[in-house]
Amino acid sequence: MEYTGKTPEEIKSFCENVESDKQSEQELIKISESFRSINRLYHFTKHETAIEILKSGGLRYSKLNRMNDMHESSKLIYVEYSPAKDDSDDKSKQIDVVHNEIYNYRQISLTEDKEDSLGFNLMQQWGLYADCFNGVCLVFDKVKLSRYFNKQNIKDNKARKSVKYMKHVDSSEISKVKNNAEDIQKEIFSLKNKIFFQKRYEWEHEQEYRFIKRCSDDTRQEYLFFHDALKFIIISNALVNNHDEDSDISKREEELKNAIANFISREKPVNYNIPILYYSVGLNGYGLSYNYIGSIWHEDNGFEVNNE
């Protein structure tokens, strides 16, 4: 037997470290394959909002008049009026009915991947919506989230699709609809693509995918409950670079982990976990890593990363 110069305790420790490294590598491969395999949608938000989302288990539908796009907040609709005589009061009432019907709709705005632009790698989304990189990015399985959307509130008018970006977004026109709420409701929904899924070119950097739903009760909050469609949570290097056990940032990360654990304990799906990934920006470029043990994506070579 060859003498190695190491004690039995040192040899045992070495072997345990080798086994731990193998397990970490296998875990990294599994996480990477899982991330790549799903069709992803992203929701950028503040840390505090992410905690509330996990507590509620749902994404809240937002009212159109609270959007950051003026065209979204103030829909322009032309109504072709056709009564027997021109009654200004009746005409005004009809326009009010049309506008009220439009603002019965609410929306959830998410970010999608494009062929040459991954949604989690959009700096402006981190800056504008994720609290200047101090927030989080929730990653959803688009197929599962869409399935839950289709199953919930089946009788409500609703739709989902990518937003189309255009140089000019024209106002919509309602043609010869009488002052009848049911007819107007049908007419508005028939024009949903033009009214709810078009934006001007200057917003195309958001790569928006949108869920809309008619919510007739203005006083009630409406949610899209996502269950096990939430697959990952990404935090930025504002947290990674300040990873200190005594820092407020580390405490926020711990809050996030606790919120994830509580959410999973309520949902109780089989073999379900929500890994936290780290989006980093630095001298080595942009990257996405898992648990400080290896990279699953890098801007230089995409998902074909080398962790050696």
Give the whole-angstrom CA distance, residue 297 versus residue 308: 14
Tokens 């069709």, residue? 39
pLDDT at 63: 85
Say which residues have a Cβ less than 8 Å from residue 88's Cβ, sequence separation at least 6. Answer: none
Give the whole-angstrom CA distance, residue 100 versus residue 96: 6
Q: Is 5 exposed, middle or buried (0-12, 13-18, 19+ CB in 10 A)?
A: exposed
DSSP state of 235: E
Q: What crossing angle do the helices spanning 47-56 and 248-267 adopt, rounded to 10°?
A: 20
The per-residue pLDDT string of the chain (308 residues; one tens digit each, 9 = 90 and over) reads 444 555 555 444 444 443 444 567 888 999 999 999 999 999 999 999 999 999 999 999 998 765 555 555 455 455 555 555 555 556 667 677 777 888 889 999 999 999 889 999 999 999 999 999 989 999 999 999 999 999 998 888 999 999 999 887 766 666 655 567 788 888 889 888 888 998 888 899 999 999 999 998 888 899 999 999 999 999 987 655 555 544 566 788 899 999 999 999 998 877 899 999 999 887 778 899 997 778 899 998 888 765 55
> At 89, which helix (H) or strand (E)?
helix 88-102
pLDDT at 130: 94
* DSSP SS3 for 4: coil
Give the whole-angstrom CA distance, residue 200 versus residue 213: 22
Q: Pick from 106, 153, 144, 122: which is nearest to 43 by CA?
A: 122
Q: Which two tokens stand for residue 150?
A: 């289709």
Amino acid residing at 205: H
CB neighbourhood size of 87 (10 A):
13
pLDDT at 32: 93
